[in-house]
Amino acid sequence: MAMTMTQKILASHAGLDSVSAGQLIEANLDLTLANDITGPVAIREMEKAGFEKVFDRSKIALVMDHFAPNKDIKSAEQCLTCRTFSEKHELVNFFDVGQMGIEHALLPEKGLVGPGELIIGADSHTCTYGALGAFSTGVGSTDLAAGMATGKAWFKVPSAIRFHLTGSLPKYVSGKDVILYIIGKIGVDGALYRSMEFTGDGVASLSMDDRFTICNMAIEAGAKNGIFPVDEKTMAYIEGRVDRPIQKFEADPDAEYDETYDIDLSALRPTVACPHLPENTKTI
């Protein structure tokens, strides 16, 4: 059965030869992520369920990046909950004040996410890591609690939209303009629970920052995830960061897509989103 890039990653982590859109699967996780807002909820749910151990202390990342340094007692208590949990379970990847940064920039920089991996995070913009050829998606804190305890999560396999990119971006145009153009075209629910897969010769012209930005905002179109193929730029980025074996996945040539959009990058202009939705875009 022909599969998209996302479907291949999900099949591999579910131990299946193939999967199809709409299928329910249980898959093994390579990393779980939470921050100082969502982490405490997941921690409380995990403890309420009676779990006493995490599935792998090296595969849970807690990043104190929303209200740290703390602005008040409540935000300090949120971080304390995460800090106490991290110490109890001897988590390897706990990032506190002085070490943390914006979580979705920090994890790739630290080499915690890599090509072919499956990552869930209790933050909607976890879809950022698709820039590295990984399947990553946001989940609720209760789902994250189960993931931290068992190392598994269930998914409904998404169908996909293909965005075929050609050309290269003009001066002053960046990945942010690309994704705003797309959201302006398809709307904030245009990719609802579907994978946004980016292909074509134009991919090579995009920097890793462009790709991270595009995947980060896939959720703003309602997507389950955004994902780029692994190429020389990807491999150059992870060199010296990711110190474990990685697996590259490619979509089958005859993979099925709900829709295909052809986008000439050279024709794009600087774009802004106006109130009150990201789809309300204007070029400047």
CB contact at 8 A, 113 and 107: yes
Domain match, 148 and 171 both: no
Domain match, 116 and 180 both: no
Distance (Å, whole) CA 27 – CA 74 = 35
CATH code: domain of residue 222: 3.30.499.10
Owning domain of residue 127: 5-156
Q: Which of 136, 156, 176 is the last residue before a domain boundary?
A: 156
Domain match, 167 and 269 both: yes
Domain match, 150 and 181 both: no
In 3D space, the residue among 177, 209, 183 whose CA is nearest the CA of residue 196 turns out to be 183
Element (H, E) at 233: helix 232-238
pLDDT above 90 as % of the chain: 96
Q: Give the model's confidence band at 100: pLDDT under 50 very low, under 70 low, under 90 confident, else very high.
A: confident
Q: Which of 121, 156, 191 is the last residue before a domain boundary?
A: 156
What pLDDT, in 10s, does the model give residues 214-269?
999 999 999 999 999 999 999 999 999 999 999 999 999 999 999 999 999 999 99
The angle at the Cα of 175, spanning 173 to 181, to the nearest 5 degrees, equals 80
Domain match, 234 and 143 both: no
DSSP state of 158: P
Domain match, 108 and 234 both: no
Indicate the average pLDDT of the chain. Answer: 97
Cβ-based neighbour number of residue 209 at 10 Å: 14
